[in-house]
Amino acid sequence: MNLFGVLEMGGAGMSAERLRAEVVTSNLANVETTRTPEGGPYRRRMVRFRAEVPHASPFQLAFERSTGGRSVRVDAIVTDQAAPERRYQPGHPDADGQGYVAYPAIQPVAEMADLLGAVRAYEANAASVQAAKQMIQQAIEILR
């Protein structure tokens, strides 16, 4: 791993967690959304993370295998296939023949907990970036 490998891994973690927070926020914003461009109610989205070898020169890669350090990236944003929640609201413009409206199957409390998790994970990654920076600075201090 090069001098900045830890910094880059921490940065990748921060990027991934930021995207997760974005997806969760989108779920929270659309708790009551009954119309989407694809038709039907909004469907809950989730991120899927994937560990990957940080892209580097072949020389660095050869060294990388021995340390086993893995970066992270968002592999895909998957849509929850759970059936929408049906509520009886006859006056609603999106109500079907029997007066039921399909609402997204989203639990706001669960989404809030997920959001908190993303924020805390972002914090932890920021702390690892800080730690890596301090280590490099300590090494430079030796020269002084």
Partner 1 sequence: MNTPISGLRILPAEIETGLGREAGAGPGFADTLHSALQEVDRLQGEANRETGGVLAGGTTDVHGAMIAVEKADLAFQLMLEVRNKIVQAYQEVSRLQF
CB of 22 to partner 1, least distance (A): 9
> Which is nearer to partner 1, 18 or 45 (by Cβ)?
18
CB of 26 to partner 1, least distance (A): 14
What is the C-alpha separation between 80 and 78, in angstroms, rounded? 7
State the residues that interact with partner 1 by CB under 8 A: 3-4, 7-8, 10-11, 14-15, 18, 126, 129, 133, 136-137, 140, 143-144
Neighbours of 125 (CB within 10 A): 21
CB of 126 to partner 1, least distance (A): 7
CB of 129 to partner 1, least distance (A): 6
> Which is nearer to partner 1, 53 or 136 (by Cβ)?
136
CB of 138 to partner 1, least distance (A): 11
- Cβ neighbours of residue 43 closer than 8 Å, sequence gap 6 or more: 36, 79, 80, 81, 82, 84, 104
> Which is nearer to partner 1, 36 or 130 (by Cβ)?
130
DSSP 19-86: HHHHHHHHHHHTTT----TTSSS---EEEEEEEEPPP--HHHHHHHHHHT--EEEEEEEEEP-PPPEE
> Which is nearer to partner 1, 3 or 62 (by Cβ)?
3
DSSP letter assigned to residue 99? S
> Which is nearer to partner 1, 79 or 134 (by Cβ)?
134
